[in-house]
Amino acid sequence: MDEMNVISKLISGTYEEFCKNIVVFLEVHEKTINFEKLNSNCLRETLWKKLFHYLTDYTHVDQHHHCLAALRILSRDKTNLDELITDDAIKTILQNAGLTKICEGEQILCTIVTIESLKLLCNLLFNSAKVQQSEVLISSLPYLIDRIKNYTDDTPNDVKLFDIRLLFLLTALNTSTRDIVKTELCGDICLIHMIEEFAIQNQNNELEEIKIVCEVLKVLFNLYIHSDDGLEDQEKYKNLMLTLYKLLTRKYSTQQDELESNIVNLLTVIPYNCYTPIIQPVECNDCKNVYQNMNMSAIYVLLRFLEKKLECKAHLIENFSPIITALVKLVKSERLVRKYVRLQILPPLKDVMNRPEEGTTLRAKLCKLLTSPITKLRDLVAEFLFVLCKENVSRMVKYTGYGNAAGMFATKGLLGCKQEKTAYSSDSEDSETEEYQKYKDQINPVTGCFEHPKPNPLEGMTEEQKEYEALKLVNLVDKLTKEGVVRPCRIGDDGKPEPIEHVLELQNELPKQQYNRKDSDSE
């Protein structure tokens, strides 16, 4: 059937023709995103008005779900969407979704109408700046939160899913709604309760339920991302952390990666002093990830997640930033977590023959990123490894090589100056291995690995020849400096590099600029 003929029948045909053709329209345009043919002769506006005409006509209730489905499909196209949608239209959709005062306290009468209304609202929110700021839509939040609080086993999963998705889009696209949901309506409490119930279930979890949990985690991220909750909220966060621990330590048949990804994102916005429940006392003998009588299974899962993300070749920041940020916060806040993670990533050093960035270990993969051209990525990894080294410059050099870590040392002002004592426990976590002790004096601190002694290139030269070669080198560096290829620096009093005018300025301060080898080996 001709597409324009179908649309014509929808707009100007009889009710019987409308009923017949709307089914055809839905079948033909199930996956359509753009409706360019509606761009002329006000067809788009006329079709919208006709659909809302039947949607508000309660003598034709049997066609309401079809009207909503057609509007949902049309709302994928952003063309003139802000002009098409009105407050009255939003009120009509909310009423069909069961999210107005008229519907308060009532049971969901028609699930398919409710679901189609929620899907339509999600599309409108995503595609229309006007809807994102709609006071009418924001006024529905109390009814939405109330319905979430009163879910029962009989509430359809699709209703739950699109309720939470609607809440996610609202809190993501209109930041003013976050305080309303969290502070005025205590919506985060009921969301935490939802995932608590999911976490304690023993039966096999369905795909839809895991999707709902993922949406809840995304909403909680929105609510807490810029939160300034006080001490009175610590208990809430600790309950949430215990729930996240349970979610991380259980295997699910589907969407494991998406679930872990959303948990990681949420971990990045939880206050530092609330991470303690992420590790729990060992309760059974078959626990595989035990450290100092504590169950480290959740941390182990996070490290495996890190390893998976290290394999990603595209979208490095998006893939990698959340898990590293979460781990940095965890190892900074929990001493036992730091010690366990350090053993997994920077165990006592045995491989001294290869550079730190060579190989397939977590240490090697992370060290490769220390010289990444992506500054944000490089700095995140450097911070993570530095904390694992108890923010000790000498230890960082030992495990990563001075060359790999120099960028971070320069940024932090740690080049060539005596480091102040850090706020970590003084007990040593680093017993030097036999392999390290054996080759210690032949390890190049710059490359971080063993190097065979090299012949002295100046051996056999007269003093005049040495002076000539040195002058050639000075002139070459001076030429490169003038051409802007290199920029010689010396280490300033603040431990950061500062430019010099001529390379000969380094001569007087050469002993001061040398990296202190003896200090590098001290633990």
Q: 136: which 2 tokens?
A: 């009418």
Terminal Cα-to-Cα distance of the chain (whole angstroms): 80
Beta-bridged to residue 489, according to DSSP, are 499
Beta-bridged to residue 332, according to DSSP, are none
Whether the CB-CB separation of 277 and 236 falls below 8 Å is answered with no
The amino acid sitting at 184 is E
User: pLDDT tens digit string along 180-220?
Assistant: 999 999 999 999 999 999 988 755 667 889 999 999 999 99
Q: Which DSSP string do the residues of 421-462 spell out, in sequence order?
A: PPSS--S---PPPHHHHHHGGGEETTTTEE------TTTT--
Whether the CB-CB separation of 422 and 508 falls below 8 Å is answered with no
User: Rounded to whole angstroms, how far apart are CA atoms 126 and 132?
Assistant: 8
Find the helix or strand (DSSP H, E) in which 295 lies: strand 294-295
Low-confidence residues in the chain, pLDDT < 70: 1, 102-110, 202-205, 229-232, 414, 416-431, 439, 441, 494-495, 501-523
Beta-bridged to residue 443, according to DSSP, are 450
Whether the CB-CB separation of 97 and 117 falls below 8 Å is answered with yes
Beta-bridged to residue 499, according to DSSP, are 489
User: pLDDT tens digit string along 247-277?
Assistant: 999 888 778 899 999 999 999 999 988 999 9
Whether the CB-CB separation of 392 and 519 falls below 8 Å is answered with no
User: Rounded to whole angstroms, how far apart are CA atoms 310 and 403?
Assistant: 21
pTM for the predicted model, two decimal places: 0.86
* Sign, CA torsion 128/130/133/134: negative
Q: Which DSSP string do the residues of 467-516 spell out, in sequence order?
A: HHHHHHHHHHHHHHHHTTS---EEE-TTSSEEE-SSGGGGGGGHHHHS--
Q: Tokens 């090299």 label which residue?
A: 454
| pLDDT at position 427 | 56
User: pLDDT tens digit string along 319-341?
Assistant: 899 999 999 999 999 999 999 99
What lies within 8 Å, CB to CB, of 458 at 6+ separation is 466, 469
| pLDDT at position 255 | 87
User: Rounded to whole angstroms, how far apart are CA atoms 415 and 412?
Assistant: 8
Q: Tokens 């807490």 label which residue?
A: 224
| CA 42-43-45 angle, 5° bins | 70
Specify the DSSP class assigned to residue 281: E
Q: 190: which 2 tokens?
A: 């009921």
Q: Which DSSP string do the residues of 305-329 spell out, in sequence order?
A: HHHHHHT--SSHHHHHHHHHHHHHH
Regarding beta strands 497-499 and 489-491, do their DSSP bridges make them parallel or antiparallel, or are they unpaired?
antiparallel
Whether the CB-CB separation of 323 and 309 falls below 8 Å is answered with yes
| pLDDT at position 166 | 98
Whether the CB-CB separation of 333 and 273 falls below 8 Å is answered with yes
Find the helix or strand (DSSP H, E) in which 240 lies: helix 234-248
User: pLDDT tens digit string along 1-34?
Assistant: 577 888 999 999 899 999 999 999 999 999 999 9
Q: 290: which 2 tokens?
A: 């035990």
